[in-house]
């Protein structure tokens, strides 16, 4: 893989990593020159005010452009919860001083445990709903919070030092979120033919940011470290802005197919209507007839040249339900719908590269049905082992 192709594949991750590193390094360096009194009395309430403004304004934007999407509503609620936490802190600081965070203490207090864990739980609502739509109900929410409430009650009533276990509770929720990624990707590959809908890197970046913020929270609660507290404020603002932008512009695969509940997405397949989509054949089974009909349609109509080609578009030739179509592709061709369609696109790209070796990669990608040159280079390199330009040069030698 050439550097250009590698850059196209991982450009977003590089920019994200650089931005996060700049935030951490710059804030840590700046904190060395800030006196404790200035930080406690001026900068801390100032940053909390900024975080409150960012969270509330982001929530208003999300609610205004929610378009009825539950995942956006969940993120808007998460932003409001974060803003409310900052508002409570500011009120306590200005009106009725209350020590919510006892920095430098030997252990975290019950107030700190509740505040940190509840905010951590709220921030896992969006990725959970994104990976498993409709799974979050009042019942599942109560089951998630029950262990936390029991642990905090024990820590408060019984002379036991349970704060290390309670502090790790949000990380347990993150692990649960990560376990759903594989099933989510498989479902996307069975329903879409473009990487635009199969991006799971966003959830990895989201979880990394939550992990960093959670680790910083525990650190600043147990040590009097202004450097970590200063970094925490910048990381929170960065995360809220970055995630709000991603949520507004990221394509949601469930919403595109009208799936509002995961039980609908993974419902048992219905039998196909043979009278509508299958030709009469005495010797062939239904799957053989469907395969011949689909192969002929793909060769003549070339629907794969449309970058937005989806599994449900197969109903034009095989009018049956989406779940059965997905199972038919997997069982008949031994691959997902994504790999099935991109096999045709790769062959089309190879034909163009052989016939017109001087054609620009962007033109080859567009005429082969890929959504972008970066996606084309990624898919081609994974399938052929080399980039499209290298493959073209090898064919001409």
Query: How much is the mean pLDDT over the chain?
Result: 78
With a cut of 70, say whether residue 362 has pLDDT above it.
yes
Q: Which residues contact 126 (CB under 8 A, 6 or more apart)?
A: 71, 74, 75, 78, 206, 243, 247
pLDDT tens column, 100-156:
444 444 445 666 667 777 888 888 888 888 888 888 888 888 888 888 888 777 777
**Euclidean distance between CA atoms 289 and 283, whole angstroms:** 10
* Dihedral in degrees, nearest 10, Cα atoms 348, 350, 355, 360: 90
Task: Tell me the mean pLDDT in the region 293-297.
Answer: 91
* Closest residue by Cα to residue 71 from 234, 184, 236: 184
Task: Tell me the mean pLDDT in the region 15-38.
Answer: 73
Provide the 8-state DSSP code for 335. Answer: S
| Least trusted range by pLDDT, from 3-7, 139-143, 144-148, 159-163 | 3-7
CB 349 within 8 A of CB 391: no
With a cut of 80, say whether residue 396 has pLDDT above it.
no
Confidence of residue 272 (pLDDT cuts 50, 70, 90): very low
With a cut of 80, say whether residue 59 has pLDDT above it.
yes
With a cut of 60, say whether residue 311 has pLDDT above it.
yes
| Least trusted range by pLDDT, from 27-41, 88-102, 126-140 | 88-102
The per-residue pLDDT for 88 is 80
State the alpha helices, DSSP H only, in 180-285. Answer: 181-189, 201-222, 226-249, 253-256, 262-265, 274-277
Who has greater pLDDT, 30 or 86? 86
With a cut of 90, say whether residue 57 has pLDDT above it.
yes
The per-residue pLDDT for 252 is 79
Chain CA centroid to CA 224, Å: 34
The per-residue pLDDT for 346 is 92
Confidence of residue 228 (pLDDT cuts 50, 70, 90): low
Confidence of residue 305 (pLDDT cuts 50, 70, 90): very high
Q: State pTM to two decimals.
A: 0.76
Q: Which residues pair with 310 in a beta bridge?
A: 192
Task: Tell me the mean pLDDT in the region 164-183.
Answer: 82
Who has greater pLDDT, 304 or 20? 304
The per-residue pLDDT for 167 is 74
**Euclidean distance between CA atoms 88 and 93, whole angstroms:** 9
Confidence of residue 347 (pLDDT cuts 50, 70, 90): very high
Confidence of residue 303 (pLDDT cuts 50, 70, 90): very high
Highest mean pLDDT among 31-40, 115-124, 174-183: 174-183
Q: From its phi and psi, is residue 279 left (phi > 0), alpha (psi between -120 and 50) or beta?
A: beta
Confidence of residue 282 (pLDDT cuts 50, 70, 90): very low
Chain CA centroid to CA 148, Å: 25
The per-residue pLDDT for 96 is 58
- Between the two ends of the chain, the Cα-to-Cα distance in Å is 19
The per-residue pLDDT for 278 is 35
The per-residue pLDDT for 276 is 38
Instruction: Look at the block and give the residue holding tokens 């650190």.
Output: 219
Q: Which residues pair with 192 in a beta bridge?
A: 310
With a cut of 50, say whether residue 280 has pLDDT above it.
no
DSSP assignment of 195-214 equals GGG---HHHHHHHHHHHHHH
CB atoms within 10 A of CB 48: 20
Task: Tell me the mean pLDDT in the region 225-233.
Answer: 67
| Least trusted range by pLDDT, from 158-172, 200-214, 272-286 | 272-286
| Least trusted range by pLDDT, from 29-43, 75-89, 218-232 | 218-232
């Amino acid at each position: 893989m050439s550097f250009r192709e590698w850059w196209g594949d991982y450009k977003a991750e590089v920019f994200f990593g650089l931005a996060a590193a700049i935030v951490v390094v710059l804030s840590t360096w700046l904190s060395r020159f800030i006196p404790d009194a200035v930080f406690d009395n001026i900068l801390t309430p100032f940053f909390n005010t900024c975080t409150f403004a960012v969270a509330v304004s982001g929530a208003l934007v999300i609610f205004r452009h929610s378009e009825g999407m539950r995942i956006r509503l969940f993120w808007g609620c998460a932003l409001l919860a974060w803003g409310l936490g900052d508002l409570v802190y500011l009120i306590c600081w200005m009106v009725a001083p209350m020590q919510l965070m006892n920095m430098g203490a030997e252990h975290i207090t019950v107030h700190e445990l509740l505040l940190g864990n509840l905010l951590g739980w709220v921030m896992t609502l969006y990725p959970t709903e994104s990976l498993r739509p409709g799974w979050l109900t009042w019942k599942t929410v109560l089951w998630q919070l029950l262990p936390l409430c029991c642990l905090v009650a024990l820590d408060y009533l019984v002379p036991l030092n349970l704060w290390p276990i309670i502090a790790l509770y949000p990380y347990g929720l993150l692990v649960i979120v990560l376990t759903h990624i594989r099933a989510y990707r498989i479902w996307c590959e069975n329903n879409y033919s473009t990487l635009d809908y199969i991006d799971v890197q966003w959830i990895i970046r989201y979880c990394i940011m939550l992990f960093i913020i959670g680790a910083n929270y525990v650190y600043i609660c147990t040590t009097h470290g202004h450097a970590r507290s200063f970094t925490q404020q910048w990381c929170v603002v960065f995360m809220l802005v970055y995630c709000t932008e991603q949520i507004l512009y990221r394509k949601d695969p469930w919403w595109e197919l009208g799936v509002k509940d995961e039980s609908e997405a993974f419902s048992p397949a219905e039998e196909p209507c043979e009278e509508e989509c299958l030709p009469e054949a005495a010797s062939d089974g239904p799957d053989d007839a469907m395969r011949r009909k689909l192969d002929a349609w793909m060769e003549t109509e070339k629907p794969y040249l449309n970058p937005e080609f989806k599994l449900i578009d197969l109903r034009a030739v095989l009018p049956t339900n989406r779940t059965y179509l997905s199972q038919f592709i997997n069982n008949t061709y031994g691959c997902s719908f994504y790999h099935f369609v991109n096999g045709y696109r790769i062959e089309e790209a190879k034909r163009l590269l052989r016939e017109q070796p001087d054609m620009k990669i962007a033109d080859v990608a567009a005429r082969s049905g890929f959504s972008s040159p970066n996606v084309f280079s990624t898919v081609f390199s994974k399938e052929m082992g080399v980039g499209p330009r290298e493959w073209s040069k090898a064919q001409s030698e």
